Structure formats: structure tokens, C-alpha cells
Structure 1
Amino acid sequence: MIQHLSLRVKLTLGYVLVFTVTVLLGGGGVYYAARSALTESLDTTLRETASVARASIVLAGATASFAPQLRPAGDLHIELYRPDGTLLAQVGDGDERSVSELRPGLSTTAERRVLTQQIGGLYLRVSRPSETLSEFLDTLARLLLLGSGGMILAACAAGYWLANRALRPVDAVARTAELIAAQGDYAQRVPSAPGGDEMARLTRTVNTMLDQLAGTIDREKQFARTAAHELRTPLTALRGRLDLTLERPRDAAEYEKALRGMRGRVEALGRLTEGLLALARSDASAPLQPVDLAAIAIQVSEQYEEAAAERGQVLRLDLEEGWALADPSGLERVLSNLLENALKYGAGPEIRVKVRPQILSVWSAGPGPDPAQWPRLLQPFERGAGVQGVSGSGLGLALVATLAARWEARLEPEWSGDGFRVTLRFLGAP
């Protein structure tokens, strides 16, 4: 049953429950404290009166009485008994009576509060009606109950108002999420709650998350449009080659030549697809761990020694012990992309790979890309001017930049008179 109640009602019920227990405990404490204080005041009056009455007892042989000067005030009643319960004397407001049992101390009957004291062989009893005390306590109990009931009702209203006011930002977040889910409008934002409390932080956090989500979706849409465009171009060319090949019968040599040409197109498509997959996977979280940069540099450089030799170049390693916080497979991909770019666009007889603590760099001779175009080259499918004749998809540096950002590393280009260097500088301690 409780599980189906709204959070407002649950908070209100919890607040009212705590408030009710507190009020009842407080009211009970007030009632018992008042009763104890009034009873103690009555007992003090009885003791003081008994003290005066003892001094006023007059003994005459076998009889005893009170001195004429003894006049108890108000509704006090003083009695003197033999041990067998026979009344010897009495003064004050009361009726003549006999008692069956006399016990020293304080006692309460249905109508009176009684103090009994033993004096020699006699018993002194001082009493006072308890109706006034009982009526006062009854009135106090009714007032406390009525007051407690009113405060509990007020607490219900105040608790619901406070819960409703506190949960308004949560309602706003829920409504915004429902609108986004129903309409797909990622421009919706939650009204910011004033102040610096938890709800204000919640609305700010949700809006920040929506900003990042909207940016991610826009980038993904742009990436998908660009990828579709980049894939359409080689697919259109491949289809045109197929149509041209099938226009008329050809001999085996012509078919083989056409198929070899189409095979090159398919391989280019495969490389483009692999680059797209690698770029898409780069956003997936992977556990970071300390990676030996020198070991990665040796392993990847060995894979490119043959390609460098075919171009008349040599890979030179300048290694020191260096570790960084990254993921090994991603770091291999980054160094592979940097070496591929150096082999494609670099000039001169050598390419240098340098490793220092938390630093990995690749240097190649030549002017490098235009510095003004560097930020654009870090976007997918962007290539520098004058490289249209060189095979490539424009995904290498984009993947490097994406992985570097995930590792909290800086990608730093450096142009000098003798060449161009790209440095990956890791900031986090391994």
C-alpha cells in the first residue's frame, strides 16, 4: 500500500509521524510534571499543617484534644486517633468518622489526600480534598490533547506544503525528461532552482548533462552524415565501375583488370570502415592502467619497419623508461596512426619515435600540415590541403585526439625548421 503512495505523501506521513510522537511525548511529560509538582505542593502543605498540629495536642489523662488556638486554613481537616481507630479529636472541614487501619505515611483516597503520623501512642491524620487537583489535571489533559491534535493537523498541512515545495524541481526534471522522450527535443532545459541547496545543484547538474547530451547527439548526427557522405563516394565509384564492366562482354584479361581495380576500391572501403569503427569504439570507456611507453613504441615500430624501408626511410627510436596511464590497445592505435601520417606526409630519410616519462612523440622531416588547419584536422574526415592524391580517410588524427582527451593527455603539434613533431603528453600520474 505504502509503495503506491507518492513521494510527497510519504514525506508528509514521515514528518507527521515524527512530529506526533514528539508532541505526545512532550504533552505527556508536561502532564506528569504538572501532576508531580501539584501533588508535591499539596504534600508540603499537609506536612506543615501536621507539624503545627503536633504542637497543639493537649493530653489530659486518658483523653487528648487540640488546643483552641488550632484553626486549620481552608479545607484542611485534622484528626487525632487512638491505635484502635477511635477518634479523639478533630478540627477543620470534615465529618466525624472512625478508621479501621492506621498506617503512617501519605495516601490518596477517592476524595482526599491524607498524611498519617504516629505520635506516641496516638495517630495524627491531616487531609485535604483532592477534587481540585483532579479537576485541574483533567482540564490540563483535555487542553494538551486538543492542542496536540491541532498541532498535528497543522503539521500535516505544513509537511505537505514543504514536501511539495521541495519536490518541485524534481517534477520539473521529470517533465523535461518526458518531453525529451516524447518529442526528441534536446533543447529543453529544467528551470533552475534558486539558491545552493541540493535541489539547486540537481537542476544545474541535469541541465549540464542535457547540454553535454545535446552536444554529443549533434556530433553523432554530424558524424553519421559525414560518414554516409564519405561512404557514398567510393560506393558510387565502385558501382560505376561494376556497371561499366557489365555493359558488354569482355575477355578474361579485361575482367581480371576490372576486378583488380574494384578490389582496390573495396580495400579502401574496408580501411574506411575500420577507421569508423575505431573512432566509434574510442568513446567506449575502457579501464586505464599503467602502460610502458617504450615497450609500445618498440612493438608498433617493428610493424612499420618494412613499410618505411619500401619508402627509403628508417625508423629511429630514442627511448627512456616512461609510463603513462592509458589502455594498451588504444595507445598502439594512436602510435600506429601517427607513424602512418609520418610515412605518408613526411620527407627525409628517417622518422624518429621518442619516449620520455609520460611523453610519446613522433618526428618527421618536412613542413608538416598548415598550422592554421591543425584544429580542423582533428575533426573526422578532415584532411589538409594538397593531399588529395594521398590515400586516406581523414580519421587518423581524429581518433588520436579523441583517445588523448579520454586519457586526459595533451596532443601538442610542434613546427621547427628541420621538421614536424606530434607529442602526446600525459598529465595523470601512472
Structure 2
Amino acid sequence: MRLAYKERIATRLTLVTAMIILVVFAVIYLVANFTVIRNIDRELGLETDKHKDQIFLVNGEIRFLHKDEWQEMEHSQIQLNPIFIEIVDLQGKSMDRSPNLRENHLSFSPEKSSKKEAWTLKLGESEVRQMQIPLFTSSKHEGYLLLAKSFDDSRELLDNLRNVLLILYPVILLSLYLSMRYLAGKSIQPIQQIIRKTNQITQSNLNERVPEAEPNDEIGQLTRSINELLQRLEASLNREKQFTSDASHELRTPLSVLRGTLEVLIRKPRTSEEYVEKIKTSLSSIDRMSATIDQLLALAREEKGKNLVKEELELITFLEEIVDQTSLEQGRKITFQSQSGIPIYVKVNEKSLQMILSNLLQNAIKYSKSDTDILVKTGVENKIPYIEVCDIGPGISAAHLGKIFDPFFREKEVVDQLIPGTGLGLAIVKKLAMESEIKISVTSEKEKGSTFRLDLPLS
């Protein structure tokens, strides 16, 4: 069973914290252990320094500088922190020991005496910390002084510390897990609110938005991203609805004309001239529908087309060919001007650029007077290659400049003048330009004409 998100957060944070606390507790215990042993070893060192100047071995006999020092209470009875002393010869045979050792003997380790190293050992039922030093008489090595100190109190302190840390460890982890689970639940409450709100948004209320609680944190960024996505979806849906409505309208009109014409023809016999006239009207309607359908198919293909292959293209030569071919086909004068004295290389899809220019030139020819020239210019400005298609036509009003790339949009004046067209050419141009990473812009002034500019990616 998959854990809830807040429980996964709490578990991960608890695991990380558990490792950190484990390391901290281990360091605490090791530092305490090191400190206790170091203090005992220091006390043993002080004791050995004190006794080595008071005890001597002369010809196998023990001599004391102060006899009463050897007989003091701490060596003769067991007390809180007793000191155990034993004197041995070079072979480790005991020569004398403090009464508090009773029947026990200290450990003999001559290899540790030179380093003045202390170690822990069991002495009966007790645990002691022992140190061993050599005894010299007139620079002659006569034996060893073995000295130990009880380690029971220190061991009890260390064991208590270990037990407390072991008990605290699971208690702390459980408390941390519950606290983090609660805090994680509180932290994801804004996300749960976003989920509830987005689940309520459907196609019928796509205009609603998720409220922003904290606009400057990650939750606020997520909320803005969702709202921007909803806005794009709403705009896309509205465009689809408008596109469907416009397409239906564009196709319904010629169909209505075609149906009306055919109904008139079958009402009564007609003359051959009337049949010819009505058939021509029907063919005109069919041509209009065919043109609309072709444009719709072209637009659909461009919307689905991705990852166009881009190749290096020499722009001046390419434009000269396009201009000459269009001028010949349309029977209109089209002037080409190059503002660059050297070849211009761009990286585009040749077919896409050809279709863009074909649509722009056809529009320029369609909307400008027959006795005016169409101008195509190219050059490089601020290191960016550009193409401009200029016409001297009726122009576009400023209020409509932002709509001319919408499918089926045509100004009322154009429709009233019965200028043929479907309103899809510039929509196709816009789609192709976006796919080819070409920036398209337009400037226009009523009764003075329009200029469409393409800024192309440099090769």
C-alpha cells in the first residue's frame, strides 16, 4: 500500500534526522568515554610519578623513602576510589602489593611499561584501569611498579549514559515522526485546496481560477502556473469554438447558394442559357467551398506539423526566384530590392518559407490596385535577416491589426467589397512562422497600404 505524501515526507525527514541523531549520540558517548578514561589515566600518571621516587629495589629488596606513605589508608583498605599497587621483579614475580588487593594480582605487561600506557582489566569482580612503570636503582633496572585505579564508577557512569541515549533515541524518533507528519499535513493543505478547486473546474466553468494564498512561495508559483494553464486552455477552447462557428458559416453560405440554385432549376423547365447561368453559379459555390476546405486542411496540417527540417538557404537568390515566379503567374509587377551587398544565409524550412511568402504576396496582390507595384525587400538589421512585403492598398485599421491572424477574420469593408477570400491565409502564415521560429509583424495605415515583416533566424 502506497503511503500518503505527508507520511512519505515525514518518513524521509525522520530517517535523515535519525542518522544525524545517531551520529550525535555516538559522538557524545565517545567523547564522554574518552574524557573519563583520560582523567583516570592522568590520575594514574600522577600516582606513578609520586610513587616511583619513593620505592626502590636494592639487591632484590624493597626500600621505601617514607615507610608511612606505603602504609597509608588508601592502600590498606577498599574505599570509594582506591589505588592498587603491586611491585614485581623483572620476571613479573610479585614482591609486595597493597593490602587492598587481597588475594588478587595486577596484570604484568612489560611491553607497555616503556610507553607508560594504561589499559583496562578485570580484578576479581571489579574493573580497574592499570598502568605499569619500570623501577631503576642507580640506572639499573630492578623491577616494575604496577599501579591501578578502580574503573567501576566510571563504567557505571558510561553505562548509564549509554542506556539513557538508547532509551531517548526511539522516543525522539517517534516524537519527530509524529511532529513532522503533523507539520507536513499542515504544509500540504494549500496543495489539497488546489486539488479540490481544480477538480471543480470543468469545460463549463473554465473561466474560474485557483485562488493564490502565498504568491511569493513555491505554492504560489504552482497556483500561477495552473491558472496560466487554465487561461491557455480557455483561450484555446474559445478559439476552437470560434473556428468551428466560422468554418460552419463559411461552408453554409455557398451550400445555401448551391441548394437555392438547384431548387430554382427543378421548379420548372428552363432555357439552356438559364441552365448554363445557374450551373456556373453552382460551380462558383463549389469552388468557394473547395478553396475553404483546402485552406482548412492546410491549416490543420500546419497545426499538427512538428520538427520541420531546417536547412541553410541563401535568401536573396531564393526571393528573386519567388518574386519572378509569382509575378509571371499573377501578371502583376513585383519589385524586389536587396539592402545587402553580400549573400544572406538563413536556416529555415524552404517549403514553409515559400508558403508564407506565397500567401503574403497573394494578399498583397488581392488587396492592392492593379496599377500599383508590390515591393519585396530583404536585408540584415541588427544582425537579423528580414523580409518585407509591402503593398499600396486599403490598409488595415489599428483596431483590427491584432485580429488579422485569427482564422476566418476579415474586415467588414473587405467583405462588403466582395473581395474573394476565406480569411485563413494569414492564420496559416502565423502557424508556419511560429513553427519555423520566424517573427512576423505588420504595420499598416488606412488608404496607404500595409507592410508585413519577417525576421528570420540567422544561419
- Normalising by structure 1, we get a TM-score of 0.83
Instruction: Verify: 1:117 aligned to 2:133, yes or no.
Output: yes
- 1:305 counterpart (295, 315, 327): 327
Task: Show the counterpart of 1:396.
Answer: 425
Counterpart residue type for residue 7 of structure 2: V
Is residue 397–residue 445 contact of structure 2 (8 Å, CA) maintained in 1? no
Q: 1:218-233 residue pairs with structure 2 within 5 A? A: 218-233=238-253
What letter corresponds to residue 451 of structure 2 in structure 1? Answer: V
Q: Which residue of 2 aligns with 1:211?
A: 231
Distance (Å, rounded) in 1 between the aligned partners of 2:291 and 2:5 = 54
Q: Secondary structure at the match of 1:413?
A: strand
The equivalent position to 1:127 in structure 2, one of 145, 148, 153, is 148
Report percent identity of matched pairs.
24
Q: Offset of 1:157 from its aligned partner?
A: 2.7
Residues 297 and 353 in structure 1, CA contact (< 8 A), matched pair in contact too: no
Matched with 1:22 is 20
Q: How does 1:194-209 map to 2 (within 5 A)?
A: 194=214, 196-209=216-229
Deviation at 1:271, TM superposition (A): 0.8
Q: How does 1:150-189 map to 2 (within 5 A)?
A: 150-180=171-201, 185-189=205-209
Unaligned runs of 5+ in 1: none
CA contact (8 A) 1:365 1:420 kept: yes
Question: More deviation in 252-261 or 222-231?
Answer: 252-261
Provide the rounded CA distance (Å) in 1 between the counterparts of 2:245 and 2:6. 46
Distance 1:54 1:355, change over 3 A: same
1:148 to 169, 172, 176: 169
- Structure 1 counterpart of 2:108, which letter? L
Cross-structure match for 1:95: 101
Taking a change above 3 Å as real, the CA distance of residues 422 and 84 of structure 1, as seen in their structure-2 partners, is closer
Q: Which among 305, 316, 338 is matched to residue 335 of structure 2?
A: 316
Measured after TM superposition, the shift of residue 195 of structure 1 is 5.5
Aligned partners of 2:143 and 2:389: how far apart in 1? Answer: 118
Instruction: Name the SS of the counterpart of 1:68 in structure 2.
Output: helix
Larger deviation, residues 15-24 vs 334-343: 334-343
Once structures 1 and 2 are overlaid, which stretch shifts more, 171-180 or 339-348?
171-180
Conserved? CA contact 1:113–1:127, under 8 Å: yes
C-alpha RMSD of the superposition: 3.4
- Map of 1:360 onto structure 2: 387
For residue 455 of structure 2, what is the amino acid of its counterpart? F
> Does the CA contact (< 8 Å) of 2:315 and 2:344 recur in 1?
yes
Unaligned 5+ residue runs, structure 2?
Answer: 75-80, 113-117, 136-140, 380-384
Q: CA deviation at 1:224?
A: 1.6
Q: What CA distance in whole angstroms lies between the structure 1 residues aligned with 2:364 and 2:158?
A: 98
Give distance in 1, aligned partners of 2:397 and 2:88: 124
CA distance in 2, matches of 1:88, 1:190: 92
Rate the CA distance shift 1:318–1:108 in 2: closer, same or farther, 3 A: closer
- Aligned-partner residue type, residue 68 of structure 1: D
Q: Which residue of 1 aligns with 2:88?
A: 81
Distance (whole Å) between structure 1 residues aligned to residue 129 and residue 189 of structure 2: 60
3-state secondary structure, aligned to 2:69: coil
State the 1:125 CA deviation. 1.8
Distance 1:166 1:427 in 2: 48
In 2, Cα distance between the equivalents of 1:297 and 1:8? 62
TM-score (norm 2): 0.79
Contact 1:81 1:124 in 2 (8 A): yes
The CA deviation string for residues 404-429 of structure 1, in whole angstroms up to 9 with x for no partner, is 56645242234498x52423141754
More deviation in 400-409 or 124-133? 400-409
Letter of the 2:423 counterpart: G
Query: Which residue number corresponds to residue 411 of structure 1?
Result: 441
Map Cα deviations across residues 274-300 of structure 1 (whole Å, 9 max, x no partner).
Answer: 223334444455548455443443444
- Aligned equivalents of 1:156, 1:69: Cα separation in 2: 61
Cα pair 1:77 1:91 within 8 Å, conserved? yes
Q: Which residue of 1 aligns with 2:409?
A: 381
With over 3 angstroms needed to count, the CA separation of the structure-2 counterparts of 1:68 and 1:295, relative to structure 1, is same
